[in-house]
Amino acid sequence: MDKIALMLQLQADLNEATNGDKWTSGITKNNKVINWKRCIYMECAEMIESFSWKHWKNIDKEADWANLQIEVVDVWHFIMSLAIENYAQNAKGGIDELGHALLKVENFEKIVLKNTLFANENEIMEKIEAIILESLLKKEFHLEKLVNDFFDLVVMSGLDLETLYKLYVGKNILNQFRQDHGYKDGSYIKVWNGEEDNVVMQRVLEQNSDIAPAKLYEELEKLYPAQKN
């Protein structure tokens, strides 16, 4: 199975575990409305905070490139979720059909190439804003354009398919870990000994490049501060 299909399946599994098996209908098991487009544009707004974009404050501060990449992965969670929902609601097919369609979008070839270079900060923010505009459309929804813009953003953010996949799997496992440790009821501890859990997860990945998902979960268990009380 290719990496796109694997990520789609992992996302579908996470959504079902979190929201119930009817999540593609737009309602959670707790009867809460799901709005993936809102998730996308709100996460994109957080992504822009990776840059010192305010002309009146911290004008010489270096961009937080590591946070940018994590936010890109977070947006990917929601784009995949929206795409799966769109295919289900419009009887276009399941994970396999969607996966094949994503492999055929114009900019997919760009993310296959190995890449570690970041684009100009203003150009990245303009691309983020293009994704925001697309996600704000109420009626017409152009999935291919949204995915194409996202794949552009992947490359502009110093990522490629391999690194996107690696970070996605890491964040997917972290999201599972959060759900298992009280994220919904507010008891989850997000800052671990002065560091956000995202940062801790990234460091574990960097130290163990070939770590298996189950092993990553085990490592997070060991590092989670509540386990030491």
pLDDT per residue as tens digits for the range 44-70: 999 999 999 999 998 889 999 999 999
pLDDT value, residue 210: 78
For the four alpha carbons of 154, 157, 158 and 159, in that order, the dihedral sign comes to negative
The rounded percent of the chain whose pLDDT value lies above 70 is 98
pLDDT in tens, 8-18: 999 999 999 98
Q: Is the pTM of this model over 0.75?
A: yes
Phi, psi of 27 (to 5 degrees): -135, 140
Q: How confident is the model at residue 176 (pLDDT cuts 50, 70, 90)?
A: confident
Q: How confident is the model at residue 229 (pLDDT cuts 50, 70, 90)?
A: very low
pLDDT value, residue 1: 53
Q: Mean of the pLDDT values across residues 182-210? A: 89
State the chain's mean pLDDT as an integer: 92
**Domains of the chain with CATH codes:** 3-163 (1.10.4010.10)
pLDDT in tens, 119-161: 999 999 999 999 999 999 877 779 999 999 999 999 999 999 9
75/11 Cα distance (integer angstroms): 12
46/203 Cα distance (integer angstroms): 21
Structure tokens at 48: 């822009």
pLDDT value, residue 227: 57
